[in-house]
Amino acid sequence: MKCEEIFEALSEYIDEEITIQKCREIEAHLEHCSNCRIVVDTLKKTVALYHAIPAENVPDEVRLRLHKVIRLENGES
Ligand SMILES: [Zn+2]
């Protein structure tokens, strides 16, 4: 897989809504691509922070903004 394909699949990967096959392809890519590893690590921290906030305390605007950030990080500019 190319880095661009990795970026496209990253949000699925982070949400764990990805197929096993695709997940393996991403993990194989991450083993030899430190650049994508950094992106995944950053996204995981962002998502972890997001999940740490009780849902009722997250305004829709914040939620949308987080999703936007994740998409931007994925390269969908
Ligand atoms: Zn890469």
State how far the alpha carbon of 29 is from the alpha carbons of 3, 14, 53, 57, in Å: 8, 15, 31, 36
77 alpha carbon – ligand 1 mean position (Å): 17
35 alpha carbon – ligand 1 mean position (Å): 6
52 alpha carbon – ligand 1 mean position (Å): 28
Q: Compute the distance between CA of residue 17 and CA of residue 34 in angstroms, rounded to an integer.
A: 23
pLDDT tens for the 77 residues of the chain, in order: 788 888 778 777 766 677 888 888 888 999 999 998 888 888 878 777 767 766 666 677 776 776 776 676 655 54
Q: Compute the distance between CA of residue 33 and CA of residue 20 in angstroms, rounded to an integer.
A: 20
pLDDT of residue 56: 65
5 alpha carbon – ligand 1 mean position (Å): 9
pLDDT of residue 34: 92
